[in-house]
Structure 1
Amino acid sequence: MCDTCGCSSEGGAVLRRPGSEGWHVHLHDGNHGHHHHEHDGHGHHNHHDAHDHHGHQHDTREGQRVVMEQDVLLQNNLLAERNRGWFEGRGVLALNLLSSPGSGKTTLLEKTIPWLGDDCPAAVIEGDQQTMRDAERIDALGVPVIQVNTGTGCHLDAAMVGRAAKEMELPRGAVLFIENVGNLVCPALFDLGEAMKIVIISVTEGDDKPLKYPTMFQEADICILNKTDLLPYVAFDVERCKENAMKVNHRLGWFEVSAATGEGMEAWIAWLHQQIEAQKA
């Protein structure tokens, strides 16, 4: 059980590579910090209720949760810093793509990667609870990809990403897209060692998304509004959504695209090229 968000990581995450039948790497719970058991000085589990010297009971559940959450995030952040140094040492631009399910992250990658050209090698880490569907779609583009299946876990963490990255042959100057598990809550809390967080929302989700999930938008550097080709068919106010996002994070970069039709992709790709060149410098 993840002490930060409550998701279960029982059995650990599994790395898989499309086209390599039988190849998989198990990441056990102890490797990525999901399990943290606390014991008292007598070797017994601490219970929720404690007694003071007068014999009165006090509920300590909240205090334990805070301590355990801090411990989980501390361990993750230490590993994230290692990842960040590893990426920077190789000139790799790592981008963490976050969204709710169905926003079009994989379609955006399918359309983005061919636009990068041969001088900007790309690689992808795919995060999903089960299946290799998205990894297989990326594999069809001919770029390195590893699937991280988290089981019942609801987010990627730094240990998963670090191990997956080391299993890939990332050329110097590559851009590594990390497609996180579809979830607008828990992934916002976990630093993966990325250079930037990019949150993707679609016009089918409602223009109040930034207000309902503020932590994600506070942590993000860029917001991509996807599926703009559907605007004539849905009740979605683009300006209101952008205004809501800027209320939460006034430094947020903003792009409006349709990955399906290619509309707006030029501005997104131009920005991406700028970031890649800056990383190489």
Structure 2
Amino acid sequence: MTRAELFSQIQKKSSFLCVGLDADLAKIPAHLKSEPDPIFSFCREIIEETADYAVAYKPNIAFFEALGPTGWETLQKVNEIIPREIFTIADAKRGDIGNTSKLYAKAFFEQMDFDSVTVAPYMGADSVTPFLEFEDKWVILLALTSNAGSMDFQLIKDENGKPLYQSVLEKSQKWGSPENLMYVVGATRGELIAEVRKLVPDHFFLVPGVGAQGGSLADVAKYGMNSSCGLMVNSSRGIIYASDGKDFAKAARQEAKKLQEEMKSLLEKYL
């Protein structure tokens, strides 16, 4: 998917919502567990009910690969039923030496046909650039994450007082462009989103941490939105586990709609 196609969908739906498919077998509604493929059934109903409001879906690969070979088959089936106009993210957080990264890229881009994959930058250029060699595919690079442990390394300052995450942003812009490189920027670091935007004014951000983790959607838009929106805000638990009953998909739709309505107002305010 191209940047223009993604922005067109944002405009059409008045939404920059990404729905995270953190499909935990222990948390899905009990009535689904008698299904031949419970995780697929769960994801299918979530997608069917939220596709009107979502511009992206982000399967968390760990929840699928933990199930072994059948989990990979389920992941493939889930990706295939996502409408083609909706952006897909393999939340795999890969990143290894060059030849290994190239095979990870082939797995997610060629075999499974995801639009993007999350990548860790710690090993540097040769671990990231193989993912950037695929036309109309995207790297979503971890930059400033929303977990508590992010402060262990990402905010460490060098001798010039520059935090590590800023070095990641500055260096990685030389590897890709706003047409194939996005950044993970956590919503719970609201006070820093403006600083990130100054360093990468044109790139899209994938923003976790809104909803269950307490991040402010209004702050994310205020400090992070650019002229082409430049944001995909992810909500996982707050949408997909809105109910644990037979109405789980309808409840997910209601939560997605609430976020979309707020996003519509923010788009009208800032674009």
TM-score range, shorter chain: 0.3 to 0.5
Q: Which one has the bigger helix percentage?
A: 2
Greater CA radius of gyration, 1 or 2? 1
After TM superposition, the score normalised by the length of structure 1 is: 0.35
